[in-house]
């Protein structure tokens, strides 16, 4: 999942947050797909859900899920499945919102290109309610 989180670079952390507390730019991601493109052309996909959970599909097709929250001006992710991670991955939220592609760093340190694509294109099968367990 680190690979999945990495792609998100946009994307969030430890514990859950309510949709009301999420900045408008993050709320814009609900119901849409956050796509991260790696230098090799492969893509990872992330779906933020209201209530502070996410599901993801890494660039190698590996599914994962966990929780997200906004911490300052960063979106932070903490994976709970398939294996719980002891750390969180945080990435800056673009200051001008998520309406266009932006450059970011993956959790692996690679440069990636991140973009919110309208629509929830095939979220992975991991149940979002499992993310908080």
- What are the tens digits of pLDDT across the range 46-88? 999 999 999 999 999 999 999 999 998 889 999 999 988 888 9
Q: Could you tell me the pTM of the whole model?
A: 0.74
**Bridge partner residues of 36 (DSSP):** 44, 114
Sequence length of the chain is 133
CATH topology of domain 2-120: Lipocalin (2.40.128)
Q: Is the dihedral of CA 72, 74, 75, 78 positive or negative?
A: negative
Full strand arrangement of the beta sheet holding 53-57 = 89-92, 74-81, 63-71, 53-57, 43-49, 33-37, 111-117, 102-105
Average pLDDT along the chain: 76
Contact call for residues 117 and 15 (beta carbons, < 8 A): no
pLDDT of residue 122: 64
Residue 104 has pLDDT above 50, yes or no: yes
> What's the pLDDT at 6?
37
pLDDT band at 2 (very low <50, low <70, confident <90, very high): very low
pLDDT over 80 at 12, yes or no = no
Give the pLDDT score at 30.
Answer: 87
- Percentage of the chain with pLDDT > 70? 72
Strands (E), the chain: 33-37, 43-49, 53-57, 63-71, 74-81, 89-92, 102-105, 111-117
């Amino acid at each position: 999942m680190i690979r999945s989180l990495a792609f998100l670079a946009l994307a969030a952390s430890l514990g859950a947050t309510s949709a009301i507390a999420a900045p408008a730019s993050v709320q814009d991601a609900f119901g849409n797909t956050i796509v991260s493109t790696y230098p090799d052309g492969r893509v990872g996909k992330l779906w933020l859900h209201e209530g502070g959970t996410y599901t993801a599909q890494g660039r190698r097709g590996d599914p994962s899920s966990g929780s997200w929250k906004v911490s300052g001006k960063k979106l932070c992710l903490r994976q709970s499945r398939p294996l719980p991670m002891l750390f969180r991955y945080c990435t800056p939220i673009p200051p001008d919102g998520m309406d266009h592609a932006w450059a970011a760093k993956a959790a692996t340190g690679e440069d990636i290109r991140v973009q919110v694509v309208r629509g929830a294109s095939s979220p992975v099968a991991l149940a979002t309610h499992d993310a908080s367990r």
